[in-house]
Structure 1
Amino acid sequence: MTIDHLWLIVSASFVFFMQAGFVCYEVGFIQSKNVISVAIENILTFVITTLVYCFLGFALMFGPTHLGIFGGNYWLLNNLSLTNPSLGFVFVFFELMFAGTAVTIVSGSMSERTRLLPLLLAAVFLAGVIYPLFGHWVWGGLFLKQPAWLKDLGFIDFAGATVVHGTAGWVSLAGIMVVGARKDRWDSSGRIKKLGRSNIPFAALGTFILWFSWFGFNGGSLLEFNDRVGLILLNTNFSAAAGVMGAILTNHFFLKEHSYMEAIFAGALGGLVAITAGSNYLLPLDAVLVGFISGSVVVFSGLWLEKLRLDDAVGAVSIHGFGGASGTILLALFAPQEFLGGQTRLTKILVQLAGVSVNFLWAFGLGLLMFYLINKLFGLRVSAEEEEKGLNIVEFADIYSWQDYLKMTHYETLTQDLSGTIQVQNQLLQKQAKLLVETQEQERVKLARDLHDGVGQSLAALKLQLGMIAQKVKKEHQDPLLSGQIERTVHLTANTIEEIRTVLFNLKPALLHEKGLSASVEVLLQNLQKTSGIRFSYNLLAPMPAWEEAAALNLYRVVQECLTNILKHSQATEIVVSFSKLKSNRYLLQISDNGQGFDMQKVHAGLGLNSMEERLKMLGGTLQIVTETGKGTTLLMEVPYDY
């Protein structure tokens, strides 16, 4: 035994500690009713991996190669001591921990809705076939001096960003596609819903454990203890820290409506996964760049999976699949020339892309076939009722979880009984409210008809008669005083008719109900421009939110009142109306004129400003007025909204 063997054993123990990290991380990110299920799954999958990989998978991965496709000879670990007596069993122990990592990742991604038996069957196939065969193509020459076709092409994966993490990530992608999303993960409108987490501090503990264990993951992959170990450990740490920064900044600048909490965890693990490919080759600053970029990639890929409605309970696909792929490709971009194996940088990038692509096709393709067959033969998913209860109860009959479930369902029953009574009352109130609205609408229509047919027509006739009288007085009497009085009366009558028309228009803005606020405002501006001669400009700079009917009516009235006041008092020749979106779900309605302005101290109570402020306050909005005598007025109205 040498210090190299001792270093491998210590590193393997570090990597084994990853199992504890995965348990803490996954348990922290899922609902309490499933934590026991996840913890037990992780233990059982490692048990299966230990037996299947050691007695079958190791031979396929590191045994004497057959056509460069698979190994052999070391079935049940036979003949191992004859090949390399000092290293043999130490190497098996070290590689077993890597296989255990790959298998554990897959079960975590499918948590909270997948039955235990299918996951264990998948662990058998993953540990025995999918993982070791791809590993043979890259690492087949680590134990014996023999060719490995991907490595011989120049493909580099120092510690398993693709071999371990990429394989696990793409198999996880196949699994979540076949098993489907968790119940109520998306609402009826397609928006993602938070299902709750059992213990985020526990997830933070899991992240630190994984971070710590990664020092053995990368450091041990050197397979000896020499002066490069320090660089490998530093690069590992740098990339994890930079991954957090990349993820947080990406979340801040591009995904403002997402919590940055998930970005912290995903960024750290994404950076660790990415540097696994090249921790032995990169300089510290390059490791920072790899981690930073990969942290951003992990955040964007997680969002993309959400858009596709692919439900990954712990973010395994984005962290291990996309994080591993980005780290493997970025290695070719940042590694010093002496580590490129005589290839140009462009050639190395293409080789790394080819290796990542082969990994995806192999792992995702076989994973999809595996889960499809398991689903057909045994069924992957628990029933909707079992998922509601939680897998703690369904799989392990946990009495405490059962008591919690009974309490919850008891309260739900009481709530449903109470809500039934409330629902009847609500239906009665809704019926009365509907009747009231219909009655009010009928009264508005009747009032509009009476004003139009009665008062309006009479005033129009009066205006005509007065006009004729005014012409006659001018011709026959030539009395300027009398003629002026009659003209003023005609003008007053015309103004009264216009006021009535405005009232009629205000009583029933039917377009608002049919076309929405934006179209109604546009028509309002067109009508005012025709009647007033003032030039109007309308700028819809952001899509109009789907306002509720009451909110839309109040906003319409505010805009209408603003415009009416401008026409009456500002002496403006141009009015600009702009609608735009602000940060934090706030919408801005801006109305500006080039009129005479006014003194806020003198007329704030007039001009309908109090009425507008009251309407905006009901909607949670604010009104700001920017005005100066002789330089026009701008009204800024901010209103919160929710799509």
Structure 2
Amino acid sequence: MNINHLWLIVSACFVFFMQAGFVCYEVGFIRSKNVISVAIENILTFVITTLVYCFLGFALMFGPTHFGIYGSDYWLLSHLSLSQNPLGFVFVFFELMFAGTAVTIVSGSMSERTRLLPLLIAAVFLAGVIYPLFGHWVWGNLFIDQPTWLRQIGFMDFAGATVVHGTAGWVSLAGIIVVGSRKDRWDATGKLIKLGRSNIPFAALGTFILWFSWFGFNGGSLLEFNDRVGLILLNTNFAAASGVVGAILTNRFFIKDHSYMEAIFMGALGGLVAITAGSNYLQPLDAVMVGFISGSIVAFSGLWLEKLGLDDAVGAVSIHGFGGAAGTILLAFFAPLEFLGGQTRLVKVLVQFAGVAVNFLWAFGLGMLMFYLINKSLGLRVSEDEEEKGLNIVEFSDIYSWQDYLKMTHYESLTQDLSGKIQVQNQLLQKQAKLLVETQEQERVKLARDLHDGVGQSLAALKLQLGMIAQKVKSEHGDTMLSGQAERTVNLAAETIEEIRGVLFNLKPALLQEKGLSASVEILLQNLKDSRGITFAYNLLAPMPAWEEAESLNLYRIIQECLTNILKHAEATEVMINFSKLTSSLYLFQISDNGQGFNKHEVHAGIGLNSIQERLRMLGGKLEIITEEGKGTTLMMEVPYEY
């Protein structure tokens, strides 16, 4: 009894390690802008499964049966001792890991366009109702000896090809139908567009982790440690390997325009799912055949789903739904007669097919109802704009994902015409921006000349005349009140002239011409620090490009405006300025403060944003604002440059 306890605990830990495998696999298969969202979803769904399944789902699945349909009594894990099962809480721990596997699979298939909260709500229903009730029909006798209806008719599923993986696969199918495909997954002609992967080596690591963890998944399902464990582990390994071969050959000879790379991953996991149904019953050569056939079915089913316009981000429906169904039905063809429970092979095939059909109707049907209701009440999908930005930004406001988003969406994107010639859109934009800057420079020069030659000279003459009048009044009438007023008028004229000189200096700072933009900004920050007492952190993370004079002036004004706004409105104590390169032709100015922030949907003017955006547009740049009331503000300004 002790070694059985130990084996089950070790196997459960193996199965728990599957969660790490799913994270690696899913993160590797989706785009970088969504990896944080997927990783956090997997953690949260396992948390939900732990609580919901243990306190509700376990009782429905393994409690004393009512009509062979549902269990009871073990609510909140009470009354377990009455079962007289020596495994006790060890069994609960082991089965929890299986439930966690089923729930995790669903969120992966709907990645990159589904909001977090609806997925967590779906996890509650899957862990608490959908999975445990079907599990009761097949495995309800594993904890206490009792009849359940699918078990009674002879349905066989040793470790959960249908109970765990089929259930998860068909709920995933319902989810991707309701939520719809990812943006730009198909072009206007219906041709599939490859959206890219974030990290295929990471997905390979995830596949190996899942492969390793499956030894506990299948080996532990024996619920004891005996001489059949070796056979189970060998069969598991054989099926995974032959699944890869089956998927690759199918891809090579029957499927065009698809990389064999995906066939490797889907074949391995499809073979593992399939052998889960019969790893305790089959001989090694039979396991090889089951894996090979299932790998081919997984590859074909993935193509079929694409033809139907169904977008499964990680291949979950093909691997777990179709792979689980294939392995469960193939069990009836390859299992030795002594394991068929007295049924003929034909009857067993029909029984296995019936069990798979019931599983599909139950999981897919309830999945459709669940996701339909969630979609109608809360909404499943993020907006197109949020999907374009990525869920890292939408759900978690990740700053590095913001930078990646700016890289991908800046106006320098290339378009290729039908003849294959690449047309660079930014050349026209740069030409227009340069014209605008030159026009602005001409206007600035004209303004400075008019102030100097017109108003400035008139005031200088006025100052001279008033000075002569003041001297005359003083010499003729002595130090009278009139003389004092004249002197004050002269001083006022002198101050006005100095103000004009200050404006002229501000229009074209000499410091900017002498020392360049980077040094000028540093001096500006030091002056503000000395006068206002704010802490500034200035990080020049990449050398400044060789800006033209007009560009430098506009950039200086933009930075000056940003800092002025912080001093006037933010009530900040700390400011961080980072200058860095996004690409070889795109520079990023990032200015962050720890001030009071604001609601950018309500505030459109009055804090200098219009002026900043106008100057950036002249330079062909773009402004992104990340802010929240009470949590500071970050301005991210991308500006193109020639290299």
On whether the aligned pair clears a TM of 0.5, the verdict is: yes
SS at match of 1:258: coil
In structure 1, what is the Cα distance between the partners aligned to 2:297 and 2:51? 35
Q: What is residue 607 of structure 2 aligned with on the other side?
A: none
Q: What is residue 118 of structure 1 aligned with on the other side?
A: 118
Q: What is residue 326 of structure 1 aligned with on the other side?
A: 326
Whichever residue aligns with residue 174 of structure 1, its letter is: A
Q: What is residue 280 of structure 1 aligned with on the other side?
A: 280
In structure 1, what is the Cα distance between the partners aligned to 2:411 and 2:116? 30
SS at match of 1:96: helix
In structure 2, what is the Cα distance between the partners aligned to 1:223 and 1:87? 9
In structure 2, what is the Cα distance between the partners aligned to 1:407 and 1:327? 45
Partners of 2:413 and 2:425 within 8 A in 1: no
In structure 1, what is the Cα distance between the partners aligned to 2:409 and 2:307? 32
Whichever residue aligns with residue 154 of structure 1, its letter is: G
Aligned positions, number: 425
1:140 equivalent to 2:140? Answer yes
Q: What is residue 362 of structure 2 aligned with on the other side?
A: 362
In structure 2, what is the Cα distance between the partners aligned to 1:413 and 1:219? 52
Q: What is residue 347 of structure 2 aligned with on the other side?
A: 347
- Runs of 4+ in structure 1 off by over 2 angstroms are 81-86, 406-418, 420-425
In structure 2, what is the Cα distance between the partners aligned to 1:404 and 1:264? 29
Q: What is residue 488 of structure 2 aligned with on the other side?
A: none
Q: What is residue 64 of structure 1 aligned with on the other side?
A: 64
> What's the CA shift string for 1:220-260, capped at 9, x where partnerless?
00000000000000000000000000000000110132110
Partners of 2:85 and 2:143 within 8 A in 1: no
> What's the CA shift string for 1:364-419, capped at 9, x where partnerless?
00000000000000000000000000000000111111122234334458999962
Q: What is residue 501 of structure 1 aligned with on the other side?
A: none
> What's the CA shift string for 1:111-170, capped at 9, x where partnerless?
000000000000000000000000000000000000011011000000000000000000
Q: What is residue 183 of structure 1 aligned with on the other side?
A: 183
Q: What is residue 80 of structure 1 aligned with on the other side?
A: 80
- 1:36-435 equivalences under 5 Å are 36-84=36-84, 86-412=86-412, 419=425
Whichever residue aligns with residue 105 of structure 1, its letter is: I
Q: What is residue 26 of structure 1 aligned with on the other side?
A: 26
In structure 2, what is the Cα distance between the partners aligned to 1:297 and 1:60? 33
In structure 2, what is the Cα distance between the partners aligned to 1:408 and 1:16? 37
**Aligned in 2, Cα 1:330/1:114: closer, same or farther, shift over 3 Å?**
same
In structure 1, what is the Cα distance between the partners aligned to 2:356 and 2:408? 47
In structure 2, what is the Cα distance between the partners aligned to 1:165 and 1:272? 10
Partners of 2:23 and 2:206 within 8 A in 1: yes
- 1:470-481 equivalences under 5 Å are none
In structure 2, what is the Cα distance between the partners aligned to 1:410 and 1:261? 31
Identity %: 85
> What's the CA shift string for 1:278-336, capped at 9, x where partnerless?
00000000000000000000000000000000000000000000000000000000000
In structure 2, what is the Cα distance between the partners aligned to 1:415 and 1:273? 43
In structure 2, what is the Cα distance between the partners aligned to 1:415 and 1:263? 31
Q: What is residue 507 of structure 2 aligned with on the other side?
A: none
**Aligned in 2, Cα 1:91/1:180: closer, same or farther, shift over 3 Å?**
same
Shift of 1:88: 1.2
**Aligned in 2, Cα 1:369/1:93: closer, same or farther, shift over 3 Å?**
same
Shift of 1:78: 0.7
In structure 2, what is the Cα distance between the partners aligned to 1:40 and 1:158? 31
Whichever residue aligns with residue 111 of structure 2, its letter is: S
Whichever residue aligns with residue 17 of structure 1, its letter is: F
In structure 1, what is the Cα distance between the partners aligned to 2:150 and 2:302? 29
> What's the CA shift string for 1:535-586, capped at 9, x where partnerless?
xxxxxxxxxxxxxxxxxxxxxxxxxxxxxxxxxxxxxxxxxxxxxxxxxxxx
**TM-score if structure 2 supplies the norm length?**
0.65
Shift of 1:265: 0.2
Whichever residue aligns with residue 99 of structure 1, its letter is: A
In structure 2, what is the Cα distance between the partners aligned to 1:371 and 1:74? 28
> What's the CA shift string for 1:455-492, capped at 9, x where partnerless?
xxxxxxxxxxxxxxxxxxxxxxxxxxxxxxxxxxxxxx
In structure 2, what is the Cα distance between the partners aligned to 1:176 and 1:150? 28
Shift of 1:84: 3.0
**Aligned in 2, Cα 1:62/1:184: closer, same or farther, shift over 3 Å?**
same
In structure 1, what is the Cα distance between the partners aligned to 2:128 and 2:238? 34
**Aligned in 2, Cα 1:331/1:413: closer, same or farther, shift over 3 Å?**
closer
Any stretches of 5+ residues in structure 2 without a counterpart?
417-422, 432-643
Whichever residue aligns with residue 120 of structure 1, its letter is: L
Q: What is residue 595 of structure 1 aligned with on the other side?
A: none
In structure 1, what is the Cα distance between the partners aligned to 2:55 and 2:172? 24
In structure 2, what is the Cα distance between the partners aligned to 1:230 and 1:246? 24
> What's the CA shift string for 1:563-614, capped at 9, x where partnerless?
xxxxxxxxxxxxxxxxxxxxxxxxxxxxxxxxxxxxxxxxxxxxxxxxxxxx
**Aligned in 2, Cα 1:415/1:245: closer, same or farther, shift over 3 Å?**
closer
SS at match of 1:67: coil
In structure 2, what is the Cα distance between the partners aligned to 1:218 and 1:21? 16
**TM-score if structure 1 supplies the norm length?**
0.65
Partners of 1:45 and 1:120 within 8 A in 2: yes
Greater displacement, 410-419 / 180-189: 410-419
**Aligned in 2, Cα 1:292/1:85: closer, same or farther, shift over 3 Å?**
closer
In structure 1, what is the Cα distance between the partners aligned to 2:328 and 2:261? 26
Shift of 1:421: 6.6
In structure 1, what is the Cα distance between the partners aligned to 2:16 and 2:430? 59
In structure 2, what is the Cα distance between the partners aligned to 1:81 and 1:411? 67
- 1:527-546 equivalences under 5 Å are none
- 1:408-557 equivalences under 5 Å are 408-412=408-412, 419=425
Partners of 1:244 and 1:266 within 8 A in 2: yes
In structure 2, what is the Cα distance between the partners aligned to 1:423 and 1:40? 40
Partners of 1:62 and 1:136 within 8 A in 2: yes
In structure 2, what is the Cα distance between the partners aligned to 1:412 and 1:151? 62
Whichever residue aligns with residue 186 of structure 2, its letter is: W
SS at match of 1:310: coil
In structure 1, what is the Cα distance between the partners aligned to 2:356 and 2:405? 45
**Aligned in 2, Cα 1:412/1:78: closer, same or farther, shift over 3 Å?**
farther
Partners of 1:81 and 1:89 within 8 A in 2: no
Shift of 1:420: 7.3
Partners of 1:15 and 1:216 within 8 A in 2: yes
